[in-house]
Amino acid sequence: MQKKLINIFFLLIMSLTVLSGVNYTKDQPILEPRPIPDIQIDGELKESISTEPLKLKKGNNSATIYIGYDSNGLYFYADVDCPTPKMNNKKEGDLNKVDCIEIFLSSDPNADFKRTKYGVKDFHLGIKASKENETWNWQYKAPLVNPELYYKEKDHGYIMECKIPWSNFDIGCLCKVNGRVLSFDIALDIGTTGLFGNRTQIRWCGDKSIDNNPSQWGKAVF
């Protein structure tokens, strides 16, 4: 009887550990975006992108996101469908509480993928879905430096195209991380009209602890 109780207790502890979202798993997906030679930030998908897009979906909200890069920065093109666009009345550190796209990237190729706290080279960026072109870097507690942004509305959603200079991730030269596996993730935030204004966050990888827990991020090789 005592042995059975011990086994039950062990399984309970393990299940709580999994639910807490702090466990890194070796099966986390790896994104392998390809370089794009002809990036032009104009809201049109004209670029030669050979990487399959990421598909994010929850309920009536979804996004198709193409990711690539060049020697100057990280690129994405997002085609977003949501029934309640223009929910974007927040600023600075609260940008991800409304319609927003979040980027998570570590520029440290030697970082422990199991870490549960941010290191100095773990970056969390937000780009608000708005013509105001507002951005935020939570690591630096400041707007992004020299991003190229294009935003336009469509029926029940929006298009966002963006190139983020590598300097916003403390990457002076891409050669320092090229070919190395880095922690990476992306999330779509949808603002709501509810009483408490709660957002819906749709993540490529991980759970709701993704904002504070790098072990929940996926991976990328540039």
**Domains of the chain by residue range:** 29-221
Angle ∠(187,190,193) on CA atoms, nearest 5? 160
Q: Which CATH class is domain 29-221?
A: mainly beta
pLDDT at 131: 86
Residue 194 has what pLDDT? 56
pLDDT at 9: 39
**How much is the pTM?**
0.84
Rounded Cα gap, residues 35 and 40, in angstroms: 13
Q: What is the residue whose two structure tokens read 């990457």?
A: 171
pLDDT of amino acid 90 = 76
Per-residue pLDDT of the chain (222 residues; tens, 9 = 90+): 554 443 433 333 333 333 333 344 556 789 999 999 989 999 999 888 888 999 999 988 999 999 999 999 999 999 999 877 666 777 887 888 888 999 999 999 999 999 999 999 999 999 999 888 899 999 999 999 999 999 999 988 999 999 999 999 999 988 889 999 999 999 999 876 555 556 789 999 988 899 999 999 999 999
Give residue 57's pLDDT: 92
> In the 3-class helix/strand/coil scheme, how is the chain assigned residue by residue?
CHHHHHHHHHHHHHHHHHHHCCCCCCCCCEECCCECCCCCCCCCCCCCCCCCCEEEEECCEEEEEEEEEECCEEEEEEEEECCCCCCCCCCHHHHHHCCEEEEEEECCCCCCCCCCCCCCCEEEEEEECCCCCCEEECCCCECCCCCEEEEEEECCEEEEEEEEEHHHHCCCCHHHCCCCEEEEEEEEEECCCCCCCCCEEEECCCCHHHHCCHHHCEEEEC
CA separation (Å) from 128 to 34, 85, 108, 167, 186? Answer: 25, 11, 26, 20, 14
Structure tokens at 48: 């030669």
Rounded Cα distance, 27 and 7, in Å: 26
